[in-house]
Amino acid sequence: MQEETTDDLPYISEAESQKDTNLPMQGRRIVDMMHFIQQLKKISSHGSLFNCNFNEMSLIGETRNGLISKYKFRCNMCQKDFLITSEDPVSEENIDVNLAAVTGITSAGIGYSQFQEITACMNVPIFSEKTYCKFQDVIYEKWETTAVEAMEAAAMRERDAATAEGRLTKDGVPMIDVYADGCWSSRSYGNNYKALSGAAAIVGRRFGEVLFIGIKNKYCLVCARAEKKQITIPEHACYKNYTESSSSMEAEIICQGFETSIAMYNIVYSRIIADGDSATYSKILARNPYPFFTVQKIECRNHLLRNMCNKLRAVT
């Protein structure tokens, strides 16, 4: 087994790692069982003149990087120190437990404080909020890359299927049907359009996979604070990318998807299956994304029913 090393685990500086040498060690930990047992086996049979075994060893310290720990053991017979880790730091195929936890938090749609609450009840010590934000940046970047790759692969599948069926424009560009819909925050159906962010997606009809997503934000906290305090806006990763009316966000994103489909994937979205609200389709027609081709519209049955219900309710 190796002697103590000073190399840091990924993403956390030495200053941020929390040293805890006050034994007995408190709380619970998450360990990679097989890795942990293997290391215990190794250090317990370290041999030497004294025929030492694990009974002679004491845990003398822990260096914790969030959920990952390094434990220092000392053999009371030969006075040698050994370091073992809660998981394999060089394992390529697995992301470490810190990143895994942040991925879980994000997937579950909760935040740091909820996670803190849960792990506090479980008596598992975790990372600080500052570190959590750093991990989140790493994950968002990975997700973005994966999303782009996945959407590209989905588009290729749709394109190949259309080509195989001979669904091509006069210029030989494959044509596919797509669903398009959006959502935006703090909007109640029918009357309130004050949403600050909106998202929309275009999904291929044949395989039901996302081909295009877009997010529009009308609000950025950093900009808003600077404006309110009347100071110059500091350099920041700004989230504000939209100034038009909230209700036009969805149509705007979907139009962008249509306008970039040839450049991105060499595909024409020939028919759109959209909601009963005709704003998106009218906007697509007005923008005329394919000068040689008019996009057609198919009504979505679900939205048709919803709109009918709304009208019926209005009548009563």
Q: Which residues bind Zn ion (CB under 5 A)?
A: 48, 52, 75, 77-78, 220, 222-223, 238, 240
Q: What are the helix (H) ranges across the chain?
A: 33-44, 97-108, 112-122, 129-165, 221-229, 249-265, 279-287, 301-315
Please state the closest distance from residue 136 (CB atom) to Zn ion, in A. 18
Please state the closest distance from residue 224 (CB atom) to Zn ion, in A. 8
Please state the closest distance from residue 246 (CB atom) to Zn ion, in A. 18
Which residue lies nearer to Zn ion by CB, 78 or 262? 78
User: Among 143, 79, 134, 89, which Cα is nearest to 112's?
Assistant: 134
Neighbours of 55 (CB within 10 A): 8
Which residue lies nearer to Zn ion by CB, 7 or 235? 235
Please state the closest distance from residue 213 (CB atom) to Zn ion, in A. 21
Please state the closest distance from residue 119 (CB atom) to Zn ion, in A. 32
Which residue lies nearer to Zn ion by CB, 46 or 64? 46
DSSP 94: S
Contact by Cβ (8 Å): 43, 73: yes
Which residue lies nearer to Zn ion by CB, 93 or 235? 235
Please state the closest distance from residue 277 (CB atom) to Zn ion, in A. 30
User: Among 146, 169, 149, 164, which Cα is nearest to 266's?
Assistant: 169
Please state the closest distance from residue 233 (CB atom) to Zn ion, in A. 7
Which residue lies nearer to Zn ion by CB, 57 or 155? 57
Which residue lies nearer to Zn ion by CB, 100 or 223? 223
Please state the closest distance from residue 49 (CB atom) to Zn ion, in A. 9
Which residue lies nearer to Zn ion by CB, 108 or 238? 238
User: Among 175, 146, 142, 144, which Cα is nearest to 262's?
Assistant: 175
Strand partners, 203: 179, 210
User: Among 200, 213, 204, 202, which Cα is nearest to 159's?
Assistant: 204
Which residue lies nearer to Zn ion by CB, 148 or 238? 238
Please state the closest distance from residue 193 (CB atom) to Zn ion, in A. 22
User: Among 187, 216, 211, which Cα is nearest to 199's?
Assistant: 216
Strand partners, 73: 59, 82
For 150, residues 6+ apart whose C-beta sits below 8 A from its C-beta are 209, 210
Contact by Cβ (8 Å): 142, 81: no
Task: Report how far residue 163's alpha carbon sits from residue 161's, in angstroms, rounded to the nearest whole number.
Answer: 5
Six token digits for residue 24: 């007995």
3-state secondary structure of 59: strand
Which residue lies nearer to Zn ion by CB, 141 or 227? 227
